Structure 1
Amino acid sequence: MPDKPKDFWDKAAVFLHPLGGLMTALAVAVVGVMGSQVLDRRQSLETNARLYSELMSRREEAESNLRKDMCVSIIQNFLRPGLSDLDSKVLNLELLAYNFHDSLNLKPLFLDMQQRLAASSDPQRNTFLQRVNRVARDISARQLFSLEGHGRSFRRTVDLDELRKAGKAGVPLEGEKIEIDGKTCQVDLRALGFDENLQQLLLRLEVKAPEGSDKSDTRVTFNIGFFDFPMIDNTRLANGLRCAVTLSALSRTNADLATVCFPAEYAGLKDRPYYDEVIQKLQAASRDERLGKGGALP
């Protein structure tokens, strides 16, 4: 029986069969090359990320060691018994304040320097005192500006003449309702007295807990002056917030106060949140996540 003549598809199959093997080999080679490039790129990114992390870690360690050595050196010079040069002491206090104001409570050093200057007969005593007060106001303003970016603040003015006439009852200041990250609190202040020698106001702070909350109100009485810095000298509230009052300006007749409320994580290194507050935040975040997914709360 004679062979059936080959049609177009038979001829195409003869031609395409070896071509298909070649295309398969090329596809495998291309995929291999592309896969190798992807792996190389990923390894390069991981290497760069690891290198960047190591560099940043070493940089932070070096900065931390530098700050530690600098702090120790300044404090040793400041507290050295034989050092009586007021200019050097003021300079060391300035260095401490500008570099470590967010991690150290510098109020005792400022008060000590204020007493030293008051008892000194140095002709430049007033100049040194102006430098000390200027540094304190500058640091307080910096911290207040930083905290205002994460919280809420308000300002009030105390009439010192009215305060003197009021006696022990003091002068109430207009309250303020503050809301931060869904947390609402009512902040009330009352000026109780003024010490002209120390330039300090005696204040009573009352922060009411949110309605329906099982937390208690916060009530505290304290002195406030130019050497009280908000990141360090603040009041712990029941809802995980902090409240700080600063003396921003003082004249013979008026005292200007700035009050700021902010989340606890922005407090200074000296005043980090307690463990129970951290646990409460984690539990609250877990509940919010379950609610967002439609899950049932326990």
Structure 2
Amino acid sequence: MADRQRDGWDKAAIILQSLGGFVTAAIVAMLGIVGSSYLNEKQKIDTNVRLYTELMSKREDAESALRKDMFTSIIDTFLKPQAPSLDVRVLNLELLAYNFHESLNLKPLFASIDQQIGQSTDGRKKEYRERLNRVAREITRKQMVILEGAGKKFDSKFKLASVPTSKKGLPVELEEALLSLEGIEREFRMYIMEVHHETQELRVRLEVITPEQPASAFATNNVEFWVGFYDFPMIDHTRLSHDQRVAITVSNFEDGYANITTVYFPGAYAGLKEKPYYQEVVKELLKTTEGLGNTKDR
């Protein structure tokens, strides 16, 4: 009887060992299939990412080459001894402005073409000036949409008749504004010192008062400059502390009134031609590192 029981257990052990080997083999096979499928999928994703990166890189290279050729071709027309017709010069300036307005200071070109239009005897000179003013306002509008989204702005309106036409008159003081950006509050005071009706430009005195630590101390920036329709805010602006900027644009100059807009924005949105100071970059890195450290402590 005992031998029969032992034989039964032996048979069971043999069967279980066989089943265990089969189950183990099946599990190993399944893991192999799953692992192979995962590796294949990961390889496929990596391949797609690499192809996408290469395509984007080639696309950017092609766009850069195209922009370079376009820029060289347009600039050459302005530098040639024999200048092309006024129509071609205005067209080239339009192309240059629409494609490179974020990285180039185009005011000298606008002013030069405007002067050439004024001296021209071409019967279409009024049309050329309208095109010039239209592209200038469109570029200002595009830049202001970006800057207003990232910063703060306020508008001012005043009578042109009240502004002196020379340095001898009394300036017009506009309403001051108190704006806060990135935790920094500044007070902006503006004075219209002089107006030039022919070029539709204003000489502005801007005072920026920033409370510093301790609270009883103040840092003041005083600047004076001319501003008109050909001053674009991403390029023509005043640098402030803490890597911030302020710019003034002219949006209207007719019917006896002038409208100007002051925009206060982060330095990261300044034009590509402007490089940040080394100290400002270090401060921003330290601020970011400190913020990450505080997040980890929480």
Length-normalised TM-score, structure 2: 0.92
Where in structure 2 are the equivalents of 1:138-287 lying within 5 Å? 138-164=138-164, 168-212=169-213, 216-287=219-290
CA offsets per residue over residues 94-117 of structure 1, 9 Å max, x none? 111111111111100000011111
Which shifted more, 66-75 or 215-224?
215-224
Q: Deviations over 1:169-207 (max 9, x none)?
A: 311111222222223222221111101122100111121
8 A Cα contact 2:209 2:218, kept in partner: no
For residues 10 and 258 of structure 2, the distance between their equivalents in structure 1, rounded to whole angstroms, comes to 102
Which deviations, in whole Å up to 9, do the C-alpha atoms of 1:10-69 show, x marking residues without a partner?
Answer: 765443221111000010111111111111111211121111111111111110111011
Contact 2:190–2:207 under 8 Å retained in 1 = yes
Question: Contact 2:164 / 2:193 at 8 angstroms: preserved in 1?
Answer: no
Given that 1:215 and 1:239 are in contact with CA atoms closer than 8 Å, whether structure 2 keeps it comes out as no
Q: Decide whether the 8 Å contact of 1:265 with 1:272 is kept in 2.
A: no
Is the 8 Å Cα contact of residues 216 and 238 (structure 1) preserved in structure 2? no
1:21 to 1:250, Cα distance in 2 relative to 1, 3 A: same
Worse-matched range after superposition: 281-290 or 136-145:
281-290
Amino acid at match of 1:111: A
1:89 and 1:31 mapped to 2: Cα distance?
70
- Given that 2:212 and 2:218 are in contact with CA atoms closer than 8 Å, whether structure 1 keeps it comes out as no
Distance 1:21 1:292 in 2: 52
Distance 2:19 2:61 in 1: 62
Q: SS of 2:232's equivalent?
A: coil
- Secondary structure of 1:216's aligned partner: strand
CA distance in 2, matches of 1:86, 1:30: 76
Q: Alpha-carbon deviations, 1:249-281, whole Å to 9, x = none? A: 111411101111111111111113222211110
Q: Which moved more, 1:149-158 or 1:210-219?
A: 210-219
Percent sequence identity over aligned pairs: 44
CA distance in 1, matches of 2:178, 2:44: 53
- CA offsets, 1:145-189, max 9 Å, x none? 111111111111122122239964311111222222223222221
Superposed displacement of residue 125, structure 1: 1.1
Indicate if the aligned counterparts of 2:244 and 2:264 stay in contact, CA closer than 8 A: yes
Alpha-carbon contact 1:97-1:106 (below 8 Å) kept: yes
Which residue pairs with 1:132 in the alignment? 132
CA distance in 1 between counterparts of 2:151 and 2:190 reads 18
SS in 1 for 2:109: helix
Question: How many angstroms does 1:4 deviate by?
Answer: 5.2
Q: Kindly tell me: are residues 287 and 210 of structure 1, through their superposed partners in 2, closer, same or farther at Cα, counting changes over 3 Å?
A: farther
Match of 2:67 in 1: 67
Cα RMSD, aligned residues only: 2.3
The whole-number CA distance in structure 1 between the counterparts of 2:228 and 2:9 is 98
Partner amino acid, structure 2, of 1:65:
A
Q: Distance in 1 between matches of 2:191 and 2:283?
A: 31
Distance (whole Å) between structure 1 residues aligned to residue 117 and residue 137 of structure 2: 18
For residues 2 and 84 of structure 1, the distance between their equivalents in structure 2, rounded to whole angstroms, comes to 116
**CA shift in 2, pair 1:285/1:27, >3 Å:** same
Structure 1 residues not aligned, in runs of 5+: none
Task: Report the TM-score, using the length of structure 1 for normalisation.
Answer: 0.92
Say whether the 8 Å CA contact 2:243–2:280 is kept in structure 1: yes
- State how far apart, in whole Å, the 2-side matches of 1:157 and 1:42 are: 61
**Does structure 1 residue 290 correspond to structure 2 residue 293?**
yes
Correspondence for 2:27: 27
Structure 2 CA distance for aligned equivalents of residues 17 and 132 of structure 1: 90
Secondary structure class of the residue paired with 1:154: strand
| 8 A Cα contact 1:215 1:238, kept in partner | no
Structure-2 separation of matches of 1:96 and 1:2: 103
1:196-231 Cα offsets, whole Å, 9 max, x none, are 122100111121223426883221111000000011
